[in-house]
Structure 1
Amino acid sequence: MMDAISNTEKQARFRKKEVLKRRADQIFRELILGPGDWKLKIPDEIRASLDKAVELPSGWTDEDYERAEQKLEQLYRERSLAGYDNPSLLTNDVHEGRGGRTEFMTTPDPTKFVRDIKIAIEDTRTLAAHLISALKLSGCNDADRAAALMEAVRFIGRSIASGNKIPKSKATTMCLASIGPQYPRPDWFAEELTSTLAWNIGKDLAHDIGQRLCEFNNEV
């Protein structure tokens, strides 16, 4: 428990929390009003993520405060670089999963292909919003939510692996990575998984994982 603190210290802590909240408000405005497709921006979801990032526990310490600052900046970088200034990750996955540029260049009806893609993106975005809402309303903690979501990912992975044609995207790759070795993988799987992991986790951690995989293979 924290020792009793003076009014001066209470005021200083209050001002620090206000600085954190103002930074969250600034990030929210930049993300919502900044460049990018408005349809890719979900204000309620962004606001909820920022509010959660700046939550400080009772009797918070400097370390708690620094973690909150880091969370804010991580959210900002993720949203501004991956979500809005660049094409949506969800849009990319839908497009790639339906054949991407190759399918577009070979389809006899490009107009219909583009129209179908747009509809699929909107339907997929709606489904994602429903899933996120269900997770928020579940009352489960983050670890339990992760367990539930991974069960859904495994369900999709088994369905993909059992299909006649396996669609190629980063999303389908991660679903296939979640199921056991008894399921077949397409020829492109290893390269796609490697590039997806390397892009998401960075060069140094990807190198560390590669080394550990080699060690694991030597042990089995």
Structure 2
Amino acid sequence: MEAGPEGPSRSAPSPSAAWRVLVVESDTSEAESLVLGLRRHGHHVDSVDTGGGALQNYEDADLVLLDLELPDLDGLEVCRGIRSAGDVPVIAVTARGTELDRVLGLQAGADDYLVKPYGFRELMARMEAVMRRAQRPREQIATVVSHGSLRIDASSREVTLEGRSVELTRKEFDLLHLLASHPETVIPRKRLMQQVWGDSWSRRTVDTHVSSLRNKLGASSWIITVRGVGFRLGCG
């Protein structure tokens, strides 16, 4: 990190809310520094150094900070395991910094992706953004949305196409559900960012998820790009 998480010598500011944070970090010194900094900011922090420990303890956390370089399991597999079981927010905190690494992290279900070395204030800002998004009441829209052969069930978070199940990550589901809930409307990129990612991601993030959705649905025509504006649901 660029600056130690303990921050300046002055007393740490009180957080807007105290969260239960699970730090999954194999490097002992980094883990201790991160735990100290988060506790100084008023959060309740537990720390584990393995993927197995993460999968055993994440359910008690409000937020997971997940190192992808773990001694027993690949961090992406741990992320998928957490995501498949629930909606606990996950921020990948890792030295893996290529574009492909970021894409894989997002596709595994991470809510945010932060590359080492990083500044502690940036981490705190990203945590705030992720938690605002997780705690924001969702727009009241239909539980089940059907569009031709596409069926989206918000209560079970299941998608079927022509009767077959389509496996989506959490963000892919949220993006598709938002588009399908307004089938005649072009949804601006800014609105997608606010409602699905909470303004914490780049233009490339939206494009990556749209591309992945098109591949999983089997046709690019399911999601139509309206140049300079945003996206709308197509007809497959």
TM-score normalised per structure 2: 0.31
Larger radius of gyration: 1
More helix by share: 1
Judging by fraction of residues, say which structure has more strand.
Answer: 2
